[in-house]
């Protein structure tokens, strides 16, 4: 048996998870509410968010509601409901409706803004490092991913359709992966091996021949 064949079998027999992750998918997603929603850990919450997104998509993309018109109609319905309920409560000696309290406190708002700032800074740092081209493999993967996203974006004439179907696809694919992760990891393992061979060939015949600028710090 040749060395290359033995190396191939050794690679395929080694344990590998999708995206090279070393922890569970739930841990990678933050172990929070968002992870529970995407992986359908909380079926009521996931179903409620999906139903809400579907209603919003239906109103804006199918019924062609305008945002200002929709907000105006919701406000009118809220005022009418409050008016009738208040008068009925006075007539039947019911308790009048309470004034809604502020759900999101100032402290939680600051924490949310701080988390968004940290994540945005992390994303910008990753993009900055990739744009320098020090890791050609990551640079090519980023270009390929953005190119695929641009092609998918051309299929949708509306951003609402793109966001809705993107959310549904993400929620569906992550849930399916959590159920059939062994089978998907096996397919990803073989595909990763083939891509690694293709990258080595491309790197040897093309990428190494491209002149690269020297690091300014050297």
Q: What is the pLDDT along the chain (218 residues), one digit of tens a residue?
A: 444 444 444 444 445 555 555 667 777 666 777 777 888 888 888 889 899 999 988 988 888 888 788 888 888 988 888 888 888 877 777 777 676 665 666 777 788 888 888 888 988 888 888 777 667 777 877 888 888 878 877 777 677 888 888 888 888 888 888 788 777 777 777 777 777 788 778 777 776 666 655 544 44
Output the pLDDT for position 196.
79
Q: HSE of 4 in the Cβ direction (CA atoms, 13 Å)?
A: 2
Could you give the dihedral angle defined by the CA atoms of residues 51, 53, 59 and 62, in that order, rounded to the nearest 10 degrees?
-90
Instruction: Assign residue 17 a region (left: φ > 0; alpha: ψ between -120 and 50; beta: otherwise).
Output: beta
Whole-model pTM over 0.75: no
Neighbours of 38 (CB within 10 A): 22
- What is the pLDDT, as a whole number, of residue 177? 81
Question: Tokens 């809400």 — which residue?
Answer: 52
In total, the chain counts a number of residues equal to 218
């Amino acid at each position: 048996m040749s060395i290359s064949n033995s190396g191939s079998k050794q690679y395929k027999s080694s344990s590998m998870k999708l995206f090279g992750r070393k922890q569970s998918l739930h841990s990678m997603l933050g172990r929070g509410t968002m992870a529970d929603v995407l992986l359908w850990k909380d079926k009521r919450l996931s179903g409620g968010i999906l139903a809400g997104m579907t209603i919003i998509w239906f109103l804006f993309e199918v019924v062609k509601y305008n945002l200002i018109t929709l907000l105006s109609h919701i406000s009118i319905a809220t005022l009418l409901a409050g008016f009738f309920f208040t008068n009925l409560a006075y007539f039947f000696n019911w308790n009048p409706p309470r004034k809604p309290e502020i759900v999101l406190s100032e402290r939680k708002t600051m924490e949310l803004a701080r988390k968004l700032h940290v994540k945005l800074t992390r994303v910008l740092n990753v993009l900055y490092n990739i744009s320098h081209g020090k890791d050609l493999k990551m640079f090519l993967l980023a270009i390929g991913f953005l190119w695929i996203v641009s092609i998918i974006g051309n299929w949708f004439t509306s951003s609402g359709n793109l966001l809705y179907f993107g959310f549904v696809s993400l929620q569906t694919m992550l849930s399916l992966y959590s159920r059939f992760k062994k089978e998907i990891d096996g397919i990803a393992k073989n595909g990763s091996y083939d891509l690694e061979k293709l990258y080595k060939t491309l790197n040897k015949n093309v990428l190494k021949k491209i002149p690269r600028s020297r690091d300014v710090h050297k």
